[in-house]
Amino acid sequence: MTTQHTAQKAMLIATGLTAACALAACGGATSDDENGSNGNGDGRAESGSAAETGVSPLLLLGDSVAAGQALPLGQALAESGGYFIDETSTGGGNVLGPNAEAQWEDLPERLEAAADGVVVYQLTSYDWGTPDEQHDAYEALAEVTSEVNADLILVSMPPIEPDEFYADHMDELATAAEAAQNVAGEDEAVEFLDATAVWGATYSREHDGDIDRSDDGIHTCPQGAARFTSWLLDELSELYPGFQPADPDQWANTGWSSDETFTGCD
């Protein structure tokens, strides 16, 4: 995985040059818009009740792992009357570790979209650093979140099966959750959610016979992303009394599972 900002810009420029063809070609080949996963379309169907509970707008920060989870979450939140903003980033999204500086350059501005709502940061597989550095980064995130009058929810990352890329950083990743928990303990506007209930303590591709995780050992698969979404909505309903999550029947099979974000799942 690599930071893609430059590539994305270049792609956008090139796409502009070939707009007609690209639009025709890609309109049917991607499903983001259809899924409302980027905060568009269905994601804008915010209801007054969801906003009143404080759970909307909900902005998700994270890396490419979270990007997969954003797909059902966007659908589920929309069906629950919330406004979802996907600010995950493939190959990045981390608030410390490699290229975090790039994330911080415009993070405060991006978080403005979550004003009076919730920012969910799923700890990323790039959150490399000492416990103190992790603590400082999460604390800094809490500060910029509070500046837009939003709550911050820190969520532990799914355990991974490290390849060479991650092998040297597993000790650092192991301390991230505790650092996040400490920040939550020090700041009333910050909550920490341990997603071990969803993923287990160690990487497991299957859960009750279903494929939950990608065979790359890192990312999630649709069934796992759906289970995470259901769990997170339940947690939100506890944190925000009055918020009523939509039934999974309303969002689980709406087409998002065919998004090419999910790889290694068949």
Partner 1 sequence: MSHAPHAPRHSRPEPATRRFLEISTKQNSRTDGSEARALTATKPWAYVSSLDGLRGLAIAGVLLFHTGHLDGGFLGVDLFFVLSGFLITGLLLRETSGTGSVSLRRFWARRLRRLFPALATMLAAVTLTVWWLERAAAGMAANGEMVRTTLSDGPWVQLHLINWHLLAQDAGYWDAFGQSRLFAHLWSIAVEEQFYIVWPAILLLTAAVIGSVIGVHRRRDPVVLGWAVILACGLLAVLSLTLMILLLEPADPTRVYTGTDTRAFSLLLGAAAATEPARLLFRHLLQLLGRAAGTVTALLTAGILTSWFLADGTDAAGLFTGGLFAHATASAVLIGLCAEHHARPERGREPLQAVLESAPLRWLGQISYSLYLWHWPVIVLMAPELPGLSGWAHTSVVLGISIALAAASKYLIEDPVRFRAGWARGTTGAVVFAMASAALLALWLLLPQPAGPQIDVTRI
Give the one residue of 109, 165, 186, 242 binding partner 1; rule: CB under 8 A.
165
Name the residue among 88, 3, 103, 55 with its Cα closest to residue 235.
Answer: 55
Q: Which range touches partner 1 (CB under 8 A), out of 11-19, 104-112, 142-150, 184-192?
A: 11-19
* Whether the Cβ atoms of residue 224 and residue 199 lie closer than 8 Å to each other: yes
User: Considering only residues 135, 155, 184, 227, which one is a binding residue for partner 1 as defined by CB under 8 A?
Assistant: 227
Question: Does residue 24 interact with partner 1 by CB under 8 A?
Answer: yes
Q: Interface mask (CB under 8 A) for partner 1, residues 45-84, using x and -?
A: -------------------x-------x------------
Asked if 231 and 212 count as a contact pair (C-beta separation under 8 A), the reply is no
Check residue 247 and report its DSSP letter.
P
Q: Compute the least distance from the CB of residue 142 to partner 1, in Å.
A: 28
Which one-letter DSSP state was computed for residue 191?
A: E
Segment lying near partner 1 (by CB under 8 A), choices 48-56, 148-156, 184-192, 224-232: 224-232
Query: Is residue 7 involved in binding partner 1 (CB under 8 A)?
Result: yes
- With CB under 8 A as the contact rule, the residue among 28, 106, 201, 202 that binds partner 1 is 28
Residue with tokens 């978080």: 111
Residue written as token pair 């065979």: 215
- The DSSP bridge partners found for residue 220 are 213
- 16 makes contact with partner 1 (CB under 8 A): no
Burial tier of 162 (Cβ tally within 10 Å: 0-12, 13-18, 19+): middle
Q: Residue 49 carries which side chain, given as an amino acid letter? A: S
Query: Could you say whether residue 29 binds partner 1 (CB under 8 A)?
Result: yes
Question: Cα 9–63–247 angle (5° rounding)?
Answer: 115
Residues found near partner 1 in the complex (CB under 8 A) = 1-4, 6-8, 10-11, 14-15, 18, 21-22, 24-30, 64, 72, 90-91, 98-99, 163, 165, 208, 210-211, 215-216, 221-223, 226-227, 229-230, 248-249, 252-253, 255-260, 262-266
